[in-house]
Amino acid sequence: MNVLHVDPARCEGHGKCYRVAPDHFRAVDDHGHAEAVGTRVDPQDRATVAKGDFAIKACPEEALSWQSA
Ligand code: SF4
Protein backbone atom coordinates (compact mmCIF):
# COMPACT_ATOMS: atom_id res chain seq x y z
CA MET A 1 0.00 0.00 0.00
CA ASN A 2 1.07 3.58 -0.63
CA VAL A 3 0.16 6.88 0.92
CA LEU A 4 0.49 10.44 -0.30
CA HIS A 5 2.91 12.65 1.61
CA VAL A 6 3.30 16.42 1.99
CA ASP A 7 6.78 17.79 2.58
CA PRO A 8 6.08 20.62 5.06
CA ALA A 9 9.39 22.27 4.22
CA ARG A 10 8.25 22.78 0.63
CA CYS A 11 4.52 23.48 1.06
CA GLU A 12 3.70 27.15 0.47
CA GLY A 13 -0.05 26.86 0.97
CA HIS A 14 -1.30 27.20 -2.61
CA GLY A 15 -4.11 24.77 -1.78
CA LYS A 16 -4.25 22.99 -5.11
CA CYS A 17 -3.75 19.56 -3.57
CA TYR A 18 -6.84 19.57 -1.37
CA ARG A 19 -8.92 21.17 -4.10
CA VAL A 20 -8.13 18.43 -6.61
CA ALA A 21 -7.86 15.53 -4.13
CA PRO A 22 -9.82 16.31 -0.95
CA ASP A 23 -9.86 12.63 -0.04
CA HIS A 24 -6.11 12.77 0.46
CA PHE A 25 -5.22 16.28 1.64
CA ARG A 26 -6.60 18.94 3.95
CA ALA A 27 -5.66 22.44 5.04
CA VAL A 28 -4.03 22.66 8.44
CA ASP A 29 -3.86 26.41 9.07
CA ASP A 30 -5.17 29.79 7.96
CA HIS A 31 -2.29 30.13 5.48
CA GLY A 32 -3.49 27.15 3.44
CA HIS A 33 -0.68 24.79 4.27
CA ALA A 34 -1.59 21.16 3.71
CA GLU A 35 -1.20 17.80 5.30
CA ALA A 36 -1.98 14.38 3.94
CA VAL A 37 -5.04 12.64 5.32
CA GLY A 38 -3.13 9.37 5.30
CA THR A 39 -5.48 7.32 3.16
CA ARG A 40 -3.72 4.10 2.16
CA VAL A 41 -3.97 3.37 -1.55
CA ASP A 42 -3.61 0.03 -3.26
CA PRO A 43 -1.19 0.54 -6.19
CA GLN A 44 -3.57 -1.56 -8.31
CA ASP A 45 -6.36 0.98 -7.75
CA ARG A 46 -5.60 2.88 -10.92
CA ALA A 47 -8.32 5.50 -10.56
CA THR A 48 -7.15 6.53 -7.10
CA VAL A 49 -3.50 6.41 -8.09
CA ALA A 50 -4.28 8.63 -11.08
CA LYS A 51 -6.03 11.11 -8.80
CA GLY A 52 -2.99 11.18 -6.52
CA ASP A 53 -0.65 11.60 -9.46
CA PHE A 54 -2.79 14.50 -10.68
CA ALA A 55 -2.47 16.20 -7.28
CA ILE A 56 1.30 15.65 -7.27
CA LYS A 57 1.58 17.34 -10.65
CA ALA A 58 -0.71 20.18 -9.54
CA CYS A 59 1.53 21.23 -6.66
CA PRO A 60 3.71 24.13 -7.84
CA GLU A 61 6.24 23.52 -5.06
CA GLU A 62 6.79 19.82 -5.82
CA ALA A 63 5.92 19.12 -2.20
CA LEU A 64 3.89 15.96 -2.83
CA SER A 65 4.98 12.38 -3.28
CA TRP A 66 3.92 8.78 -2.79
CA GLN A 67 5.45 6.84 0.07
CA SER A 68 5.19 3.19 1.02
CA ALA A 69 2.80 2.53 3.88
S1 SF4 B 1 -0.54 22.26 -3.59
FE2 SF4 B 1 1.53 21.97 -2.74
S3 SF4 B 1 2.11 23.97 -1.95
FE4 SF4 B 1 -0.11 23.98 -2.26
S5 SF4 B 1 -1.01 23.40 -0.27
FE6 SF4 B 1 -0.77 21.53 -1.47
S7 SF4 B 1 1.25 20.73 -0.88
FE8 SF4 B 1 1.17 22.86 -0.25
Out of 7, 10, 14, 54, mutate this one to test ligand 1's pocket (max ligand atoms within 8 Å of CB): namely 14
pLDDT at 15: 95
Phi then psi for residue 67, to 5 deg, are -130, 155
The answer to whether the CB of 21 is under 6 A from ligand 1 is no
Q: How confident is the model at residue 67 (pLDDT cuts 50, 70, 90)?
A: very high
Out of 5, 12, 54, mutate this one to test ligand 1's pocket (max ligand atoms within 8 Å of CB): namely 12
pLDDT at 38: 87
| pLDDT single digits (tens) 4-43 | 999 999 999 999 999 999 999 999 999 999 999 988 999 9
30 CB contacts (<8 Å, ≥6 apart)? none
List domains and CATH numbers for the chain: 2-68 (3.30.70.20)
Q: How confident is the model at residue 69 (pLDDT cuts 50, 70, 90)?
A: confident
What is the pTM for the complete model shown? Answer: 0.92
